[in-house]
Amino acid sequence: MSKTALLFAGQGAQAVGMGKDLAEQFPTAKGWFERANAAVGYDLASICFAGPEAELTKTENAQPGIFLVSWVAWQLLQERVPSLSFEATAGLSLGEFTALTAAGVLSFEEGLKVVRQRGRFMQEACEVTRGGMAAVIGLEETATREVCAAAGVELANLNCPGQLVISGAADKIEKACELAKAKGAKRALPLTVAGAYHSALMASAKPKLQAELAAVRLQTATVPVISNVTAQPHGTSVEIQSRLVEQVTSSVRWEESMRYLLAQGFTRFIELGPGKALSGFMKRIEPMAQMLNVADAASLEATVKVLG
């Protein structure tokens, strides 16, 4: 029997127009966007639909925006394929909050509000530090760790074979890119981001997120949810809380998380939310895995057709 895991998009997947066709074509989607606006107290939906890009890219809007579109994609898929069952969830960085919400740990409103605050706290950390990130392509992990140690930066994302992301002070990232190329990286490209996510430069966001999570009652997950920090299923609600706080400055162990699920017999993965980054990573991790996605009306129809 094939096992299905839901995968939720992370920051960087945002694009102006995301969710717009879903809201226009499906009353359920329109309802969720309205509910989200009421929960956060501003027109998040129109920032998703119409931007401007500078507004959507702000961490405090991008994070709840991606959470919202990913959630809507999941609700519509459930509505169209009521028989669909899933046995685990996972999400990249902020997507871990969507994964926990899909597994019943948080309510939709709680998840959205926490993610909105998380984005705000991380934005504040970005503003007081001059940080950056870079993608390192075609260099293995050990060599990349050596580069990080030599340049004084950190390994932020272990996405898939041959694609890692480093994070740290902007001037040090520049040096790290030069070192990575000298070590044989095919490419080392600075990313257009507000700051050094998943590095020590985000530390000021942690106590604020801790306080935010302490005010929410986390429920028991209905299925295993894979932690970015450990690449293993989350444990008790106390552990979930501490892992989510730790995640702000820790590496995202995505490839390891996917290999854990594959080893547990998962063969079908459904990416929910804008973009197809997670599908791309899976192609490099396990090309034989069945990868579906729901990002807009067309991909929803295509996935419903396969599952139907």
- Whether the per-residue pLDDT at 1 is higher than 80: the answer is no
Q: pTM for the full model?
A: 0.97
**Would you say residue 195 lies in a domain?**
no
Does residue 109 sit within a domain?
yes
Question: Has residue 267 been placed in a domain?
Answer: yes
Within-domain flag for 299: yes
Res 308 pLDDT > 90: no
**pLDDT at residue 221 greater than cutoff 90:** yes
Looking at the structure, do residues 185 and 206 belong to the same domain, yes or no? no
Tokens at residue 187, please?
């490419």
103-to-53, 154, 195, 205 alpha-carbon distances in Å: 31, 31, 30, 25
CATH code of the domain in which 149 resides:
3.30.70.250
* Tally of domains in the chain: 2
For residue 42, is it within any domain?
Answer: yes
Active site residue 204: no
Its domain, for residue 112, covers: 3-127+200-307
**What pLDDT score was predicted for residue 48?**
98
- Residue of 46, 70, 83, 93 marked active site: 93
Read off the CATH number of the domain in which 20 is found.
3.40.366.10
Q: Cα 39 vs. chain centroid, distance in angstroms? A: 21
Q: For residue 14, is it within any domain? A: yes
Is residue 93 part of the annotated active site? The answer reads: yes
Boundary-marking domain end, from 139, 168, 190: 190
Q: Which residue is catalytic, options 167, 198, 234, 250?
A: 198
Please report which helix (H) or strand (E) contains residue 7, including its range: strand 3-8
pLDDT, tens digit (0-9, with 9 covering 90-100), for 50-84? 999 999 999 999 999 999 999 999 999 999 999 99
